[in-house]
Amino acid sequence: MKKYICETCGVQYSSSIEAPKQCLICEEERQFVSSKGQVWTTLEKLIEVGTYSNIIELQEEGLHSIKTNPSFGIGQSAYLVKDRHYNLLWDCITYIDPSTISHINKLGGIDAIALSHPHYYSSQVEWAEAFDAPIYIHEDDKEWVTRPSEKIIFWSGESKELQEGLILHRIGGHYKGGTVLEWKNGSSQNGILLSGDIIRVAADCKWVSFMYSYPNFIPLPSVTVERIADRVNKFTFNRLYDAFHRIIKDEADLVVNRSAKRYIEALNGTLFNT
């Protein structure tokens, strides 16, 4: 019995004798199956290969990024938020080994894990078991869980405060249960928004975008983006980190607002003369 991992998206499945016939995540239109076909591996094999390691870097007070080198799966970063003796792992990555566990334990461990959406579920149960931490996933994305666990808590509603100043918000878009994390105490109490790729930072870090599918270039409808922007306008943040370590350092709230307006104008045909 092995817990197989899809090499394309990095999501781990429950134990089985044979590899699954297909990946639930990659077969869906927001993701893709590799041109090489469906390929599976296991965490044990990734560790045995000996080429992977996790780079854990301090980004600013109370915030560390965690990224696998060389890149594996989708290649996202996870973030460890340290706030008032409460350590939250925001989003997840597939690779975890004794060195990673030791390093994070020196930083105080992990009290809880929260996920933005299914593409980053990765080997979340391995992380939860290693640190004896609950996993928070919005109930709207329950159907996408590929490895069930008693560690998973499916929360409901539009917001959930994990502790004072650390708030999960379901804003939808990329997935129905798409969630962002508002960290009010981050950036010297100016606030940080960790957005996964529910809100994705553009290459120049001056704009953001919103997509139904990034690899397949499927946009969201303008009414959805308008709703997302209205929700986000009520959050407290000056800085924004996305899943691929792109950072808007100042006035991120204004950047999200003007980006949403540009996006809507583009979809409605009023931005360009073509």
Q: Please state whether 200 falls in left (phi above 0), alpha (psi between -120 and 50) or beta.
A: beta
> Which has the closest alpha carbon to 3: 41, 145, 14, 44?
14
pLDDT digits (tens, 9 = 90+) for 158-178: 999 999 999 999 999 999 999
Residue bearing tokens 């962002």:
180
pLDDT digits (tens, 9 = 90+) for 97-139: 999 999 999 999 999 999 999 999 999 999 999 999 999 999 9
Cβ-proximal residues to 145 (8 Å cutoff; 6+ apart), any chain: 118, 121, 137, 152
- Positive or negative, the CA dihedral 143, 116, 149, 161 is negative
pTM, two decimals, is 0.97
HEC assignment per residue over 95-163: CCCHHHHHHHHHCCCCCEEECCCHHHCCCHHHHHHHHCCCEEEEHHHHHHCCCCCCCEEEECCCEEEEE
- Whether the predicted pLDDT of 84 surpasses 80: yes
DSSP-based three-state secondary structure for 230:
helix
- Whether the predicted pLDDT of 273 surpasses 90: no
* Confidence category of residue 274, pLDDT binned at 50, 70, 90: low
DSSP-based three-state secondary structure for 250:
coil
